[in-house]
């Protein structure tokens, strides 16, 4: 039945998925590519990569061929050489006439037993073809050491591929926790391998200012450092008087230039975010005179804001705009991309209402509310950004009080902000927390590191960036996943929270909507996870776990337990008696009654009679608390 459904989808598109193509020819192996290409035509045979395989291209494309050779060098030991003429080998060519179907990032990858031809309109397309070619090689290509005796074969196919959306991104928050330069490069590498093309770099917030601004050195000498803390976010003790500030770091402008160039060679545009007017406590620690209250301020350590501590720039103070002009001048000079993100989210306006400078500004500008005052601030920011030759992006709160004339809206509080902006003919990037916030639980909280709320792999894969209400779909530039790092203290955990959910998002943003198929995706995802094992990239296996849903009809009824799973072919075994379940324990079939006196619930999932999920343990009291929180 699944093959019939896949075939019907393929016929509708007049394309072939890797799965249908293989089913028709009876050939193996499957092409477990992520994201799913638009069209795959299968041929017989394989191409064998050897140390003598030439990489053939015009001299202007040697950067791409050298990058490909570099990626292969460690696992294969091959020193592949560039050539400008050869009848065999791997050929990288730009199309002499523009292929409208392929657009700016599409490609054709044609593999025969004696030669590989890669063609595209632009170098970006050649790069994305290269990513598909790498995925067609054995998983050992992902390794960092020589894979001795490995035969480097590639199945013969012809792939025609191009993206659904032009904006395909991931955001990394480096303010809550600083990630060194090499970690940032690794994140860019990983997103580029799956054909994402935007790295949104959240550089400033209440917990740290992470980029050097030469004209304002205190932003990093003071704002980049805070008192060291561990433990749950928002439960931490504030910095004590005289306590040393030793936790943090920042990127020098030379490091930023290096990262920008690194991203450029991978056809990734970096979107820098300087979050204002709220989320500005790190900046106010350095320049307290720019607040409404005057400070003093400490960089936040992850403690709650007592009595709504002031963390916003004062829009009534002209010095706030003078500071931001200096910041944006230097940011615009560092980042060649067309956009600068100014945040604009979650700004507490209580202190503005009490501030004499703000009240005067409102009177002078005939502003009727604090929301209109924020809009005034955002419009001033847009003028600064435009004066530097850039365009402005902000979170959907910038709609409040009136949208700046040329702004692009990044919609995170659901889809409505994006809908509203599109109705006003503004470009939109869809990134709703319900489908794109990678800092949320991806499995049952009892089996995951502490965070909040829930975003499963299924929810990511079901995301549709273009709502039915949109009359002009071209205004939806695309979407991105966002990794906020309040609960992500190190890079290995950043990987765990990103993958495999980012696989789902990259397929949503690249592949045809009508080709989406959950079972196909899971099979291809598992192949990619095996490649991650070789590459030593961390990832979550939460999709293999069950989730616990305590239920109670009313307060007079005893609590019962419902278990849910994302994958159909999983068996769940459980115990209430404190022992560790296995496939000889009771098997879940329906809602569970809790035995009298039971205080602990454990469960584990099996597939094909082998354990595949985590052993998850929780107390009955914790499950009762879940019901109380509803």
Give the model confidence (pLDDT) of 104-115 as tens digits. Answer: 999 999 999 999
The residue to which tokens 């909040």 are assigned: 452
Q: What pLDDT shows up at residue 12?
A: 35
- Are 135 and 195 contained in the same domain? no
Give the number of other CB atoms < 10 A from CB of residue 320.
Answer: 24
Q: How far apart are CA 538 and CA 496, in angstroms?
A: 5
Residue 267 scores a pLDDT above 80: yes
- On whether both 300 and 322 belong to a single domain, the answer is yes
Domain presence at residue 347: yes
pLDDT tens digits, 334-343: 999 999 999 9
Q: Phi/psi zone of residue 581: left (φ > 0), alpha (ψ -120 to 50 degrees), beta?
A: beta
Is the separation of the CB atoms in 175 and 299 below 8 Å? no
- Residue 556: predicted pLDDT: 81
Question: Quick one: pLDDT at residue 307?
Answer: 65
Cα distance between residue 488 and residue 452, in whole Å? 12
Tell me if 259 sits within 8 A of 243, measured CB to CB: no
- Residue 181's pLDDT is 98
3-class secondary structure, 459: helix
Q: How many domains does the chain have?
A: 3
What is the pLDDT confidence band of residue 180, given thresholds at 50, 70 and 90? very high
- What does the pLDDT read at residue 30? 66
Residue 216 falls inside a structural domain: yes
Q: Where are the alpha helices (DSSP H) in 287-369?
A: 318-334, 350-354, 356-365
> What is the extent of the structural domain holding 423?
167-431+461-510
Same domain, 235 and 208: yes
Task: Please check whether residues 138 and 196 belong to one and the same domain.
Answer: no
Identify whether residues 153 and 241 lie together within a single domain.
Answer: no
pLDDT tens by residue, 234-264: 999 999 999 999 999 999 999 999 999 999 9
Return phi, psi of residue 148, to 5°.
-65, 140
Final residue before a domain boundary, out of 146, 161, 176: 161
- Pairing assessment for the beta strands 115-120 and 107-111 based on DSSP bridges: antiparallel
Say if residue 157 is in the same domain as residue 171.
no
Four-CA torsion 46, 51, 52, 56, nearest 10 degrees? 80
The single-letter DSSP state of residue 430 is E
Residue that finishes a domain, picked among 127, 161, 195:
161
Could you read off the pLDDT of 548-583 as tens digits, one per residue? 999 998 888 899 999 999 999 999 999 999 999 999
pLDDT at 160: 98
Judged by DSSP in three states, 549 sits in: strand
Active-site residue, from 279, 341, 426, 435: 279
CA nearest neighbour of 285 among 306, 317, 309: 309
Closest CA to 163 of 217, 101, 115: 101
146 in a structural domain: yes
Strands 408-411 and 428-430: parallel
| Phi, psi (rounded to 5 degrees) for 54 | -85, 150
Which one is catalytic: 32, 105, 173, 205?
205
Q: How confident is the model at residue 369 (pLDDT cuts 50, 70, 90)?
A: very high
Q: Are residues 354 and 501 in the same domain?
A: yes
Average pLDDT on 594-620 reads 97
Q: Given its phi and psi angles, is residue 234 left (phi above 0), alpha (psi -120 to 50 degrees) or beta?
A: left
Is residue 523 included in any domain, yes or no?
no
Same structural domain, 251 and 134? no
- Note the pLDDT of residue 5: 37
In a domain, 254, yes or no: yes
Our answer to whether residue 279 is catalytic in this structure is yes
Of 161, 181, 212, which residue constitutes the final position of a domain? 161
H or E, element range at 397: none
- In this model, does residue 9 exceed pLDDT 50? no
Residue 14 has pLDDT above 60, yes or no: no
State how far the Cα of 211 lies from the Cα of 205, in Å rounded to an integer.
Answer: 11
Are 467 and 578 members of one domain?
no
Regarding whether 317 and 209 lie in a shared domain, the answer is: yes
3-state secondary structure 191-223: HHHCCCCEEEEECEECCEECECCCCCCHHHHCC
In the 3-class helix/strand/coil scheme, how is 454-516 assigned residue by residue? Answer: ECCHHHHHCCCCCCCCCCCHHHEEEEEEEECCCCCCCHHHHHHHHCCHHHHHHHHHHCCHHHC
Residues 227 and 149 occupy one common structural domain: no
Return the SS3 of 138.
Answer: coil
Listed residue (222, 209, 236) closest to 302, CA to CA: 236
Does the active-site annotation cover 577? Answer: no
CATH number of the domain within which 139 lies: 3.30.379.10
State residue 166 phi and psi, 5-degree precision. Answer: -80, -20
Q: Is residue 449 included in any domain, yes or no?
A: no
**3-class secondary structure, 611:** strand
20 lies in some domain: yes
- How many other CB atoms are found less than 10 A from the CB of residue 308? 10
Separation of alpha carbons 127 and 64, rounded Å: 7
Mean pLDDT for 386-404 is 96
Whether residues 344 and 281 share a domain: the answer is yes
Name the CA dihedral angle for 387, 390, 393, 397, rounded to a multiple of 10 degrees. Answer: 0
pLDDT at 554: 84
453 within some domain: no
Express as a percent the part of the chain with pLDDT over 90.
92
Evaluate if residue 3 carries a pLDDT over 50. no
The C-alpha atoms of residue 465 and residue 411 are separated, in whole angstroms, by: 10
Local structure of residue 240 (DSSP, 8 states):
P
Could you give the CA distance from residue 108 to residue 63 in angstroms, rounded to a whole number?
19
Nearest C-alpha neighbor of 330 from the set 199, 208, 205, 215:
215
| The pLDDT of residue 553 | 83
Q: Helices 62-76 and 123-136, interaxial angle, to 10°?
A: 20
Residue 27 clears pLDDT 50, i.e. is over it: no
- CATH number of the domain to which 358 belongs: 3.20.20.80
Which residue is listed with tokens 């433990």? 231
Mean pLDDT score of the chain, rounded to an integer?
94
CA of residue 502 relative to chain centroid, distance: 6
**Which residue of the set 145, 346, 469, 526 is catalytic?**
346
pLDDT band at 630 (very low <50, low <70, confident <90, very high): low
Residue pair 256/334 in contact (Cβ under 8 Å)? The answer is yes
Q: Which residues pair with 216 in a beta bridge?
A: none
**554 assigned to active site:** no
């Amino acid at each position: 039945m699944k093959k019939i459904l896949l075939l019907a989808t393929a016929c509708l598109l007049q394309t072939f998925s890797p799965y249908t193509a293989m089913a028709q020819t009876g050939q193996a192996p499957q092409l477990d590519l992520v994201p799913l290409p638009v069209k795959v035509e299968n041929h017989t045979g394989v191409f064998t990569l050897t140390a003598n395989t030439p990489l053939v291209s015009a001299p202007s494309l040697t950067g791409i061929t050298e990058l490909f050779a570099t990626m292969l060098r460690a696992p294969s030991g091959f020193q592949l050489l560039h050539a400008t003429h050869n009848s065999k080998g791997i050929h990288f060519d730009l199309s002499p006439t523009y292929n409208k179907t392929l657009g700016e990032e599409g490609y054709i990858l044609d593999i025969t037993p004696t030669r590989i031809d890669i063609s595209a309109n632009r170098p970006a397309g050649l790069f994305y073809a290269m990513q598909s070619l790498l995925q067609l090689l054995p998983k050992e290509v992902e390794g960092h050491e020589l894979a001795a005796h490995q035969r480097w074969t590639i199945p013969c196919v012809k792939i025609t591929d191009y993206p659904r959306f032009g904006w395909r991104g991931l955001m990394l928050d480096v303010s809550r926790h600083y990630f060194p330069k090499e970690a940032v490069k690794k994140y860019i590498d990983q997103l580029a391998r799956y054909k994402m093309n935007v790295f949104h770099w959240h550089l400033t917030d209440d917990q740290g200012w992470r980029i050097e601004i030469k004209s304002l050195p205190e932003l990093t000498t003071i704002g980049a450092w805070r008192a060291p803390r561990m433990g749950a976010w928002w439960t931490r003790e504030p910095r004590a008087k005289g306590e040393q500030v030793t936790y943090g770091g920042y990127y020098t402008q030379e490091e930023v230039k290096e990262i920008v160039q690194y991203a450029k060679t991978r056809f990734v545009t970096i979107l820098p975010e300087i979050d204002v007017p709220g989320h500005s406590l790190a900046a106010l620690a350095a320049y307290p005179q720019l607040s409404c209250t005057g400070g003093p301020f400490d960089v936040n350590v992850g403690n709650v804001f007592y009595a709504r501590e002031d963390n916003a720039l004062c829009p009534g103070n002209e010095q706030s705009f003078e500071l931001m002009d200096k910041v944006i001048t230097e940011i615009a000079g560092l980042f060649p991309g067309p956009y600068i993100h100014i945040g604009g989210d979650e700004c507490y306006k209580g202190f503005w209402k009490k501030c004499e400078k703000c009240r005067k500004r409102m009177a002078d500008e005939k502003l009727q509310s604090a929301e209109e005052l924020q809009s005034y601030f955002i419009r001033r920011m847009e003028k600064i950004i435009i004066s530097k030759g850039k365009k402005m992006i902000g979170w959907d709160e910038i709609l409040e009080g009136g949208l700046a004339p040329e702004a692009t809206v990044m919609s995170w509080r659901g889809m409505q902000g994006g809908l509203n902006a599109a109705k006003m003919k503004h470009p939109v990037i869809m990134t709703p927390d319900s489908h794109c916030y990678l800092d949320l639980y991806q499995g049952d909280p009892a089996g995951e590191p502490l965070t909040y709320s829930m975003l499963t792999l299924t929810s990511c894969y079901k995301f549709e960036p273009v709502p039915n209400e949109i009359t002009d779909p071209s205004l939806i530039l695309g979407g991105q996943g966002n990794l906020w790092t309040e609960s992500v203290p190190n890079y290995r955990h950043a990987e765990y929270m990103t993958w495999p959910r980012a696989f789902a998002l990259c397929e949503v943003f690249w592949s045809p909507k009508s080709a989406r198929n959950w079972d196909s995706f899971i099979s291809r995802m598992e192949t990619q996870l095996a490649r991650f094992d070789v590459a030593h990239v961390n990832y979550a296996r939460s999709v293999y776990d069950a989730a616990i849903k305590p239920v109670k009809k009313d307060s007079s009824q005893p609590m019962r337990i419902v278990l849910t799973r994302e994958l159909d072919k999983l068996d769940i075994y459980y115990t209430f008696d404190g022992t560790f379940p296995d496939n000889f324990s009771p098997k879940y079939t329906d809602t569970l009654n809790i035995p009298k006196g039971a205080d602990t619930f454990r469960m584990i999932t099996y597939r094909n009679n082998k354990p595949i999920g985590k052993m998850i343990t929780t107390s009955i009291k914790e499950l009762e608390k879940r019901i109380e929180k509803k």
